[in-house]
Amino acid sequence: MHLVLISGLSGSGKSIALNVLEDGGYYCVDNLPSELLPQLIDSLSAQGYSKVGVAMDVRGGAGIRELPRLLDSLKAKVELRFLFLDAKDETLLKRFSETRRRHPLATESRTLVEAIREERELLEEIALLGHHIDTSDLKAATLRDWVRQFIAADASHGLTLLFQSFGFKHGIPLDADLVFDVRCLPNPHYDPDLRPLTGRDQPVIDYLEAQEDVGRMAADIFHFVSQWLPSYVRDSRSYLTVAVGCTGGQHRSVYLAEWLARQFRDGEDEGGNDGLRVLLRHRQLSDAAK
């Protein structure tokens, strides 16, 4: 059985992710108390279901804290994937305000801000169990695409190396494992002809590749990731997210994330990491990165 578990903060997009699984042919269950997970798996397995998606969060009660132990016991029975969705507090506050939905931990004596803080503390340990996606500032279509990438990845493939561009003016992504700041590089934004373009467009690529510092920065990041990647593999990591940030997340970070992903996809990493899977995402571009 292929089991995909989804958890995360209320308002972070779990319903969107579960709908993607359902569209992909998964038997989906929302808001399942964690203590019922083993019984559900046994029952669905007996009925012949091979693809199951389950959303679990604080709505299921305090038993969510037992999830790490339950997952260890299930690994012998199923091919397990875990997806944790997160978002910055200000994003969650805005979403609850716009939808006028009630937070599951909010009460007459507990404000929305306090409820979000308490939920984040309750899920702190669980957030470390699987692939982390920060949905702050993401369009629903982009989140759907990223979830499809996640479920399409072969869990037995080994470590997935994810390069992600972002803009510092939007904040550092919560899902980043390694963060590289490239704001010190020459900025195409100040050229009126290049300003509306992105780091994917040839005129911007030509501009940046003509800058010696850009080449040095790219090589330094490439060698750092290459050198330490085997250590993350030995740590049994399934995902490693490398975030590259410039001011707006449109030119320099996009170019460097594209360049780095291409180097590792071409198998040019110095460690000879067989079985490496490379993904690419751009947080601030309007279209979902492939």
- Residues at the binding site are 8-15, 57-60
| Alpha helices (runs of H) in 100-211, residue ranges in sequence order | 112-122, 140-152, 202-209
Give the CA distances from residue 96 to residues 18, 110, 112, 145, in Å, rounded to whole numbers and listed in that order. 19, 15, 9, 23
CB 69 within 8 Å of CB 95:
no
Rounded to an integer, what distance in angstroms lies between the CA atom of residue 56 and that of residue 9? 10
Residues annotated in a binding site for ATP: 8-15
Q: How does DSSP classify residue 159?
A: P
Rounded to an integer, what distance in angstroms lies between the CA atom of residue 26 and that of residue 39? 18
Residues annotated in a binding site for GTP: 57-60
Rounded to an integer, what distance in angstroms lies between the CA atom of residue 257 and that of residue 250? 11
Rounded to an integer, what distance in angstroms lies between the CA atom of residue 69 and that of residue 182? 40
